Each structure stands twice: as structure tokens, then as C-alpha cells.
């Protein structure tokens, strides 16, 4: 048997991709101008990303993508590039992508935290594995339990009627799950959710996102006020670093909580579960950092009887990675996935669009993640010279 290919080159690209004008206009309707209740002061006009391209010595390449936003992620593209260039890259160069579990453990032993940078490289390894093997990434994650997945629509915080009208537009397109941004006040929350449930009907699924808006006591009152309308889960009602507060809220309410801004590592997931602070797992490309830890987290929570929400605003590479992850664990997710990058961002940087029609997404069928990077778009949105590391 021939030896497994090894990684000989890492290429890193820092990007900024603007939101569509209509998205910026919609977000501006909220009090903070961000379409959510998060107390950030800087305008949010688009997505900051790092794309990694790993090249193996057999000529195959694998792609990874990290989405960052300082008020939530706490790192910039430049910091991710620096972490890979200064430390993490040395453990990846010369390694086999098929040893991704051991590689991830090695990165964890040698570099504290830096979960987003580790996840970026981990994601690219999974794409590279699939391309080397000539198989879809989901097949290497245990096999696809579904070839298409239901989608949820993100409804930004705005006037109640505007939010409902936007949700109804997605409903007419086939969407049956919605995430409503809340957190301006208990009265506004109650108004939005009541109006949405009445307009959308009893059959749709609703989840809400507070973006850390409330104290513990306020969160309990706010969640209790909307619970009669049937809520799948309530995301990050209190400060990201208040895990004990999350646990107090979860003990006091019947709606399952989900951590987002406060959950970045596999250790975070375990601690939040053991504290009784969450009832649903939230996963994206950055939380808990890549495919390998996402699989471990989903399987751990499934054994504890918890479902998983996959959600983010990625480009095409990150979206495809999440889709393959969702396909491989479709039987235990229990919630529609939410991928909104193709709606929010003016370009997804892949040459062939992913099929999001009818409120569902289809799993790309080519090897790896099944998408090809648009080189011209990469050049157009790059904000710094590429960084290249070689073995």
C-alpha cells in the first residue's frame, strides 16, 4: 500500500466580504444598528474571514474557512494568520491529513486556546482527506444519514411586523424553522414572538436569540413570557462568561438554552453540559473549532439526549463543511440547520452555487466538501497579501 500523502504547503488568505446593501439596511432598523441586541459599538458591514488552503505532496488541495467578528469571536483574521504562522503550522506541515484526530490533539497539547485557528486547519484537513480518497467528506465522518437537510431562517431584530413579514417571505419559500432575534425588552420580545406564532402557525418551529441581552433574573422572566408559544431553544440570554448564570436560568425555565458567544472549545461544551447550563448544543465552524471537535461534541451531547443546532453566516467553503457535518449527523441533530452567508454576503467565493432551494440544502456531491474556490473572487476580497508556509 502506498504511503498516505503529507501536507507540504499552507496558504492563508485574510478577507472581508461586504453584506448586501439590503442586509445592512435591515440590520439598521434595530436600536444598535446590528440587527440584534448585542452591545457592540462598531458597525457590522460584512464578514471577516480567513481561508486556508493545504496542499499535499500528491498535488491534492483542501480548503478551510474561519468566520470572525470581534464582539463574538474575539480574534481578528490577522491574529489567526499569526497563530498558524507562528506556531500551529509546524504541526500540520509534514503530517498526513488522515491523522486529523491525532493532529488536532497535538495542536491542543502545544498551543493553548486558539480554537478558531486550529479549527481552520482541521476543516481543511477534512476537505483534503476527501479529495485524496475521492470521497465526500461526510462519507469519511461515518456516512451521510441524509442527502438534504432542512434550513432555518434568521430573522434580525427590527419592528415586529417587519420581522413577521420577513419570516412569512421565507415561509412561502418552504422554510419551516426560524430564529428570531430578541432582547430589546420583555414587552418587545413578547410582542414579536406572539405575532410570529400567530402569523406562521402552529406547525413551524421557533427558536430565539438574545445575544447576551439580559441579567439572570431578566432572562428567566423573558423566557417564561414566550415559553407558551412553543420555543425550541433560547440562545445566549446572559453574558457569554456567566456560565453559572446560564445554569441558574436553565434550572428556572423549561425552554432549553443554547450557548453561543460563551462556548468556543470542547472543554467549554463539556463544562456547560455538566453544569446543567444548556439543553441544546450550538455548533459552527468556530465553535468548538473545526470538524473533529464538532463531531466529538455532537456525539457527546447526543448521548446525553441533546440535539444540535448548526448555524453560521459562512462563505461557500464553510457552508459546505457544515452541510457535510450535518449530513453525517442528521439522525441526532433534531433541529434545522441555519446557513445564512449566501443570503447576507454579496459573494460566497465558490464557483458552483450550493442548492438552497425550497427551504432545504443539498449535500454537494463531489469529493471533499464538493466546492471549488473562486480564485478571482479570492483576489477581489483579500485584505492582505497571502501568507505561505512550506515544509
Per cent of the chain over pLDDT 90 is: 95
Decide: 213 and 235 in contact? Cβ < 8 Å. no
Closest by Cα among 385, 263, 348 to 63: 348
pLDDT band at 30 (very low <50, low <70, confident <90, very high): confident
Does the pLDDT value for residue 1 go beyond 50?
A: no
With H, G, I as helix, E, B as strand and everything else as coil, classify residue 163. helix
Residue 359, C-alpha cell as written in the block: 427551504
Nearest to 50, CA basis, from 250, 318, 272: 318
pLDDT in tens, 145-182: 999 999 999 999 999 999 999 999 999 999 999 999 99
Alpha helices in 253-304 (DSSP H): 266-274, 290-303
Alpha helices, H only, 201-287: 216-226, 243-252, 266-274
**Domain 7-134+373-390 CATH class label:** alpha beta
Q: Is 59 left (phi over 0), alpha (psi -120 to 50) or beta?
A: left
pLDDT in tens, 187-198: 999 999 999 999
Please tell me the CATH code under which domain 140-362 is placed: 3.20.20.120
Average pLDDT, the chain: 96
16 closest CA partner among 387, 388, 381, 262: 381
- How far apart (Å, rounded) are the C-alpha atoms in residues 246 and 257? 8
Q: Where is average pLDDT lowest: 1-15, 106-120, 241-255, 350-364?
A: 1-15
pLDDT tens across 329-357, in order? 999 999 999 999 999 999 999 999 999 99
- pLDDT for res 2: 56
**Section 316-326 average pLDDT:** 98
Question: The pTM is what?
Answer: 0.97
Task: Spell out the domain ranges in the chain.
Answer: 7-134+373-390, 140-362
Amino acid at each position: 500500500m502506498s504511503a498516505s500523502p503529507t501536507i507540504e504547503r499552507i496558504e492563508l488568505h485574510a478577507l472581508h466580504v461586504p453584506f448586501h446593501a439590503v442586509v445592512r439596511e435591515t440590520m439598521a432598523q434595530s436600536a444598535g444598528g446590528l440587527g440584534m441586541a448585542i452591545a457592540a459599538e462598531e458597525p457590522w458591514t460584512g464578514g471577516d474571514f480567513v481561508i486556508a488552503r493545504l496542499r499535499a505532496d500528491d498535488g491534492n488541495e483542501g480548503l478551510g474557512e474561519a468566520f470572525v467578528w470581534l464582539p463574538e469571536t474575539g480574534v481578528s483574521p490577522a491574529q489567526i494568520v499569526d497563530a498558524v504562522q507562528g506556531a500551529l503550522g509546524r504541526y500540520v506541515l509534514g503530517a498526513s491529513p488522515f491523522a486529523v484526530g491525532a493532529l488536532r490533539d497535538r495542536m491542543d497539547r502545544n498551543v493553548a486556546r486558539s480554537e478558531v485557528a486550529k479549527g481552520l486547519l482541521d476543516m481543511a484537513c477534512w476537505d483534503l482527506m476527501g479529495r485524496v480518497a475521492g470521497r465526500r467528506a461526510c462519507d469519511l465522518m461515518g456516512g451521510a444519514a441524509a442527502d438534504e437537510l432542512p434550513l432555518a431562517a434568521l430573522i434580525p431584530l427590527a419592528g415586529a411586523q417587519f420581522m413577521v413579514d420577513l419570516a412569512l417571505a421565507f415561509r412561502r419559500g418552504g422554510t419551516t424553522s426560524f430564529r428570531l432575534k430578541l432582547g430589546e425588552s420583555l414587552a418587545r420580545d413578547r410582542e414579536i414572538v406572539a405575532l410570529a406564532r400567530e402569523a406562521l402557525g402552529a406547525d413551524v418551529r421557533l427558536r430565539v436569540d438574545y445575544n447576551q441581552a439580559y441579567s439572570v433574573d431578566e432572562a428567566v422572566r423573558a423566557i417564561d413570557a414566550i415559553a407558551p408559544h412553543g420555543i425550541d431553544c433560547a440562545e445566549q440570554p446572559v453574558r457569554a462568561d456567566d456560565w453559572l448564570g446560564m445554569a441558574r436560568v436553565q434550572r428556572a425555565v423549561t425552554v432549553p438554552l443554547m450557548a453561543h458567544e460563551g462556548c468556543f472549545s470542547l472543554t467549554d461544551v463539556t463544562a456547560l453540559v455538566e453544569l446543567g447550563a444548556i439543553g441544546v448544543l450550538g455548533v459552527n465552524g468556530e465553535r468548538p473549532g473545526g470538524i473533529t471537535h464538532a463531531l466529538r461534541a455532537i456525539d457527546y451531547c447526543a448521548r446525553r439526549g441533546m440535539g444540535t443546532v448548526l448555524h453560521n453566516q459562512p462563505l461557500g467553503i464553510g457552508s459546505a463543511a457544515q452541510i457535510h457535518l450535518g449530513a453525517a449527523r442528521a439522525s441526532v441533530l433534531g433541529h434545522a440547520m441555519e446557513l445564512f452567508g449566501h443570503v447576507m454576503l454579496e459573494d460566497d467565493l465558490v464557483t458552483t452555487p450550493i442548492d438552497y432551494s425550497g427551504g432545504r440544502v443539498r449535500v454537494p456531491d463531489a469529493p471533499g466538501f464538493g466546492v471549488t474556490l473562486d480564485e478571482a473572487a479570492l483576489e477581489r476580497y483579500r485584505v492582505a497579501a497571502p501568507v505561505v508556509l512550506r515544509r
